[in-house]
C-alpha cells in the first residue's frame, strides 16, 4: 500500500517513520525542494496546484492524507474524486475558515471565546465594543503558529491597526485570560472506531508551541474528550484530530482544531503504546486502532531555530531526540525532544535537565 501525503515536512516524515513498519510506502508532494520527508519516499516537488503532480499522486497512492491544513481546497477536492482522501475535504473546509470553524463549535455546544467577523473598520469597532479589549485579530484562513495574528489593547489603536492590516477576511476573538492551554488528541477510523490520548498541557512561546506534557489523570480530560468526540461524529471524521482548548476556571473554551497529527501529540511516539502517527495511518487504512495507553510519564520540548548539541543532549537520561533534518532558521521548528520516565517526579527532574541544556541554544525552556 502506498500512502500519499500533501506536504513533506516533519509531520509527513514522522508519519512515514511510523508507516514503514506497517509495510507502507510513501509519496510526498511539497513545494520545498529539500522537504525533510523527501528522503523517506517518492518525492513530488512542486506546487500543490500542479495538475501533473496531482495526477501522479493520485495514480501512485492508494490513500491520500495531508500534514497541514493550508493545502488548496481545489487540489484536495480533485484528488478526492480519484483516490480516498482522509480527513475528508469537508472536514478540511471547516478548518480553512476560522469563522466556519467557530460556528461549528457553537453548533456542537462546544463553548468558545466570544468572536466577531471583521471585514471592515466598522466591523472592527463593533468587535471592540462587543468583545471588549484586549482582543485578538486572526486571519480567517492560512494562519498557523501565531502567524496572521494581532492583539489590540486600546480603542485608540483600532484605526491605525486597521490601516496596516492586510485586506483579507479577519476574525476578532475576545482575549481570554486562560489558566492553561490543553489539547485533546483523538482519532477515528474508517470503521468508525475511536480512541483518545491523555490530555496534553501545552506551553507556548511567541505563539509557537514550546512544551507539551501528557496528563493522564487530568480532571478536564473527560470534558475535552466529549468535545472532541462531538467533532469526530459530526464530521464523520477519519484520522487524527487535535482540539486545542483554553481552560478558564473549571470550563474549557475551544480555540481551534487541527485535522491532522499535531505537535502537541509528539510525545505519543515514546509515551504511548501506539503513536498518533501510527494511529493516523491505521485509521485512514481502515485497520484497528492501537492502544493509546501511557508508557511511563512523558513530555515533549520543541527545538525552535536550532538543535541542542547531540552529545550533551543524548548523555541525559530518558531523552529521545527527533531531528527533523531541516536547515536551521530562527523561529523554525527543527526538532523536538521527548523526555520519558517511570513516574512524574523523575520526569520533572529529567525535564529540568533538558531545559537547562536548551537554555544554551535558541530553544529556551519555559515551564
Contacts to a second copy by CB under 8 A: 13, 17, 20-23, 25-26, 39-41, 273, 282, 287-288, 290-291, 295-296, 307, 310-311, 314-315, 317-318, 320-325, 335, 340
Residue where the block lists cell 514550546: 210
Judged by beta carbon, residue 251 or residue 310, the one nearer a second copy is: 310
Write down the least CB distance from residue 26 to a second copy, Å: 8
What element of type H or E holds 35? none
Residues 6 or more apart in contact with residue 39 via CB below 8 angstroms: 325
- Contact (Cβ atoms closer than 8 angstroms) between residue 28 and residue 5: yes
* Number of C-beta neighbours around residue 76 at 10 A: 22
* Number of C-beta neighbours around residue 287 at 10 A: 16
Judged by beta carbon, residue 49 or residue 315, the one nearer a second copy is: 315
Residues 6 or more apart in contact with residue 171 via CB below 8 angstroms: 98, 99, 102, 115, 116, 117, 118, 137, 138, 139, 140
Write down the least CB distance from residue 31 to a second copy, Å: 21
Joined together, the cell numbers standing for residue 14 give 514522522
What is the spatial distance between Cα 141 and Cα 131, in angstroms, rounded to a whole number? 21
Write down the least CB distance from residue 186 to a second copy, Å: 19
- The candidate with the shortest Cα–Cα distance to 182, out of 240, 228, 148, is 228
Count, residues in the chain: 367
Write down the least CB distance from residue 298 to a second copy, Å: 11
- Contact (Cβ atoms closer than 8 angstroms) between residue 91 and residue 104: no
What is the spatial distance between Cα 152 and Cα 128, in angstroms, rounded to a whole number? 9
Write down the least CB distance from residue 275 to a second copy, Å: 11
Could you give the count of Cα atoms lying within 13 Å of 293 in the half-sphere of its Cβ? 4
Judged by beta carbon, residue 20 or residue 366, the one nearer a second copy is: 20
Judged by beta carbon, residue 38 or residue 246, the one nearer a second copy is: 38
Judged by beta carbon, residue 161 or residue 321, the one nearer a second copy is: 321
CA 211 remoteness from chain centre: 13
Judged by beta carbon, residue 46 or residue 325, the one nearer a second copy is: 325
Judged by beta carbon, residue 163 or residue 343, the one nearer a second copy is: 343
- Contact (Cβ atoms closer than 8 angstroms) between residue 176 and residue 111: no
Write down the least CB distance from residue 323 to a second copy, Å: 3
Judged by beta carbon, residue 273 or residue 352, the one nearer a second copy is: 273
Write down the least CB distance from residue 354 to a second copy, Å: 14
Write down the least CB distance from residue 340 to a second copy, Å: 7
Write down the least CB distance from residue 151 to a second copy, Å: 36
* Number of C-beta neighbours around residue 152 at 10 A: 22
- What is the per-residue DSSP string for 230-258? HHHHHTT--EEEEEEEEEETTEEEEEEEE
Judged by beta carbon, residue 212 or residue 275, the one nearer a second copy is: 275
What are the residues facing 320 on neighbouring strands?
338
What is the spatial distance between Cα 316 and Cα 310, in angstroms, rounded to a whole number? 10
CA 123 remoteness from chain centre: 29
Amino acid at each position: 500500500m502506498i500512502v500519499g501525503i500533501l506536504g513533506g515536512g516533519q509531520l509527513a516524515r514522522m508519519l512515514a517513520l511510523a508507516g514503514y513498519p506497517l509495510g507502507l510506502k510513501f509519496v510526498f508532494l511539497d513545494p520545498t525542494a529539500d522537504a525533510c520527508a523527501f528522503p523517506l519516499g517518492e518525492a513530488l516537488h512542486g506546487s500543490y496546484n500542479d495538475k501533473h503532480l496531482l495526477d501522479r499522486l493520485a495514480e501512485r497512492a492508494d490513500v491520500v492524507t495531508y500534514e497541514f491544513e493550508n493545502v488548496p481546497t481545489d487540489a484536495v477536492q480533485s484528488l478526492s474524486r480519484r483516490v480516498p482522501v482522509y480527513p475528508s475535504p469537508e472536514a478540511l473546509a471547516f478548518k480553512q475558515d476560522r469563522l466556519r470553524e467557530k460556528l461549528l463549535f457553537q453548533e456542537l455546544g462546544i463553548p468558545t471565546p466570544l468572536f466577531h467577523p471583521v471585514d471592515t473598520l466598522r466591523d472592527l469597532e463593533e468587535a471592540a465594543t462587543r468583545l471588549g479589549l484586549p482582543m485578538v485579530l486572526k486571519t480567517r484562513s492560512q494562519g498557523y503558529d501565531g502567524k496572521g495574528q494581532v492583539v489590540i489593547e486600546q480603542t485608540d489603536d483600532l484605526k491605525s491597526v486597521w490601516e496596516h492590516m492586510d485586506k483579507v477576511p479577519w476574525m476578532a476573538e475576545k482575549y481570554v485570560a486562560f489558566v492553561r492551554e490543553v489539547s485533546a488528541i483523538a482519532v477515528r477510523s474508517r470503521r468508525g472506531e475511536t480512541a483518545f490520548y491523555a490530555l496534553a498541557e501545552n506551553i507556548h512561546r511567541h505563539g509557537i508551541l514550546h512544551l507539551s506534557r501528557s496528563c493522564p489523570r487530568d480532571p478536564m480530560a473527560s470534558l475535552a474528550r466529549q468535545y472532541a468526540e462531538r467533532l469526530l461524529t459530526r464530521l464523520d471524521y477519519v484520522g487524527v484530530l487535535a482540539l486545542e482548548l483554553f481552560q478558564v476556571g473549571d470550563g474549557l473554551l475551544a480555540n481551534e482544531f487541527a485535522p491532522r497529527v499535531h505537535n502537541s501529540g509528539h510525545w505519543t511516539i515514546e509515551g504511548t503504546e501506539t503513536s498518533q502517527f501510527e494511529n493516523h495511518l491505521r485509521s485512514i487504512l481502515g485497520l484497528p486502532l492501537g492502544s493509546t495507553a501511557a508508557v511511563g510519564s512523558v513530555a515533549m520540548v520543541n527545538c525552535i531555530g536550532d538543535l541542542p548539541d547531540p552529545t550533551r543532549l543524548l548523555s541525559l537520561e530518558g531523552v529521545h531526540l527527533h531531528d527533523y533534518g531541516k536547515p536551521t532558521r530562527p523561529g523554525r521548528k527543527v526538532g523536538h525532544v521527548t523526555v520519558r520516565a517511570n513516574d512524574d517526579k523523575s520526569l520533572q527532574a529529567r525535564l529540568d535537565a533538558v531545559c537547562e541544556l536548551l537554555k544554551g541554544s535558541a530553544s529556551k525552556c519555559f515551564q
